[in-house]
Structure 1
Amino acid sequence: MYNFSTILLILFSVSFSSSEGKVYGRCEFARHLLKHGVPKWQIPTWTCIARHESEYDTTKINHNTGDHGILQISQLYWCSNNNQPGKACKKTCSKFRDNYIGDDIACAKKNLQ
């Protein structure tokens, strides 16, 4: 039988891990793109990019290139790889590795302007 401390630790671990990152399904990712203003005609391209770059995994880091998150935002130009928000998207790269992808989409859209 579990004691109260063990149950709390398990619940904390589950809730913490689910807020850290997520692997999206293709259709779920496409719905988020639409929700965040990506034109419908661009959805297949964005979906293809996310599939090949990160396999829809928000925690993905490419240590060779310094790219982060589901859309592989580059630390060279778009995010800072320290504790201070910076570069073109005014974010730390770690913000692109959590389960909220609205900021990833906004940054990627900025890339297109």
Structure 2
Amino acid sequence: MTILYALIVLLFLTFLGLSHAKVYGKCELARIMQNNGFPREQLRDWMCLVQNESGFNTSAINHNRRGTIDYGLFQINNRYWCDSSYGANDCNITCKSLLDDDIANDLQCVRLIYKRHKFTAWVAWNNKCQGKALPTVSECF
């Protein structure tokens, strides 16, 4: 009985923790990004990047071979951009904050990453978007 109770509590806490995550629609995210100053001509690249990095899911986490972790919608890496044992935290944000449905801080961080490295900072963009057919966004506006 104690084990069953513990499992129920664990499941409840798991779902509670995920309740702040969100899976965005392509058009929803494209409009949010445009409304936050991202140029419309870049939105096709951003949608391709997000689709291939996180599947539009803010709670996405990926563990990399070298021990680093990518967080959230844009798969922002903890080696350079958010707080971790690596110490860089160039975006001055917690990695955990990249996993919720409030993407304002994600967008600020993405601007910094893009300013320094353009889209080439993201492996998925390099492998699946660069020089390839990009998703349309014209139907979103």
Q: Give the TM-score taking structure 2 as reference length.
A: 0.63
Matched, 1:71 2:44: no
CA 1:80–1:22: 2 relative to 1, 3 Å = same
Matched, 1:53 2:56: no
Q: Distance in 2 between matches of 1:59 and 1:17?
A: 7
Q: Distance in 2 between matches of 1:87 and 1:95?
A: 13
- The percent of aligned pairs where both chains have the same amino acid is 37
Q: Distance in 1 between matches of 2:58 and 2:84?
A: 16
CA 1:17–1:75: 2 relative to 1, 3 Å = closer
Give yes or no for contact 2:53–2:73 (8 Å, CA) kept in 1: yes
Q: Which residue of 2 aligns with 1:112?
A: 114
Q: Distance in 1 between matches of 2:92 and 2:37?
A: 20
Give yes or no for contact 2:70–2:76 (8 Å, CA) kept in 1: yes
Q: Which residue of 1 aligns with 2:42?
A: 42
Q: Distance in 2 between matches of 1:70 and 1:45?
A: 14
Number of aligned residue pairs: 98
1:93 is aligned with what amino acid?
Answer: C
Superposition RMSD in Å? 2.2
Q: Which residue of 1 aligns with 2:62?
A: 62
Q: Which residue of 1 aligns with 2:89?
A: 87
Q: Which residue of 1 aligns with 2:139?
A: none
Give yes or no for contact 1:79–1:90 (8 Å, CA) kept in 2: yes
Q: Which runs of 4+ in 1 moved over 4 A?
A: 14-17
Structure 1: which 5+ runs fail to align?
1-13
TM-superposed CA distance for 1:81, in Å, is 3.1
Give yes or no for contact 1:80–1:91 (8 Å, CA) kept in 2: yes
Residue deviations 1:25-79 (CA, integer Å, cap 9, x gap): 1101101111211111110001100000000000000022411000001101000
Give yes or no for contact 1:81–1:94 (8 Å, CA) kept in 2: no
Q: Distance in 2 between matches of 1:35 and 1:86?
A: 29
1:72 is aligned with what amino acid?
Answer: Q
